[in-house]
Amino acid sequence: MSNANDINRQAEEAQIKKNYQKMVEEITPKANLWQRCLWAFIVGGIICVIGQAIMYAFENWLGMTPEDAASWNTIILIFVSVLLTNFGIYRNLVSFAGAGALVPITGFANSVASAATEFKSEGWVFGVGCKIFTIAGPVILYGLVASWLLGMVYWIISLF
């Protein structure tokens, strides 16, 4: 009798899984991959064109060196990204453009700012202070470790 109950239970579980999978497929929105890739390419390209325009303006109109212009360009792009994140605009851009809005430096600034603003109700120390490094912490940590290791390799190679 136990084998019959086990077989029936397994058949019921298989039917439940099948019904669940069917329901998931019906509910899941269908995305056009090529259209999403095109929008990601366009929006990412627009962000890069804006950055290049800022560089051009600083170098040619304000007479900055390329290094200074690049620094100010980075600061402005990060500032605008954080500002748009706080107003809830960047989230809409990301949902529309996907990786096109997340790959440039503006996407990294958005991820840091959104983590901080999401938890600001918990206070400055335990909310913003702790959660701001949820995304940035691992990136900073592994960036520092990788640069230290590569620096050591370069130093060792330069000894020979």
What's the pLDDT tens digit per position in 57-105? 999 999 999 999 999 999 999 999 999 998 989 989 988 888 888 877 8
**pTM recorded for the entire structure:** 0.67
Both tokens assigned to 111: 């991820």
- Interior angle at CA 53, CA 49 and CA 58, nearest 5: 150
φ/ψ region of 64 (left if φ > 0, alpha if ψ in -120 to 50, else beta) reads beta
Q: Please tell me the number of Cα atoms within 13 Å of 48 on its side-chain side.
A: 10
User: Which amino acid belongs to residue 41?
Assistant: F
Q: Are 87 and 107 spatial neighbours (Cβ–Cβ below 8 Å)? A: no
Is the pLDDT assigned to residue 1 strictly greater than 60? no
The 8-class DSSP code of residue 29 comes to P
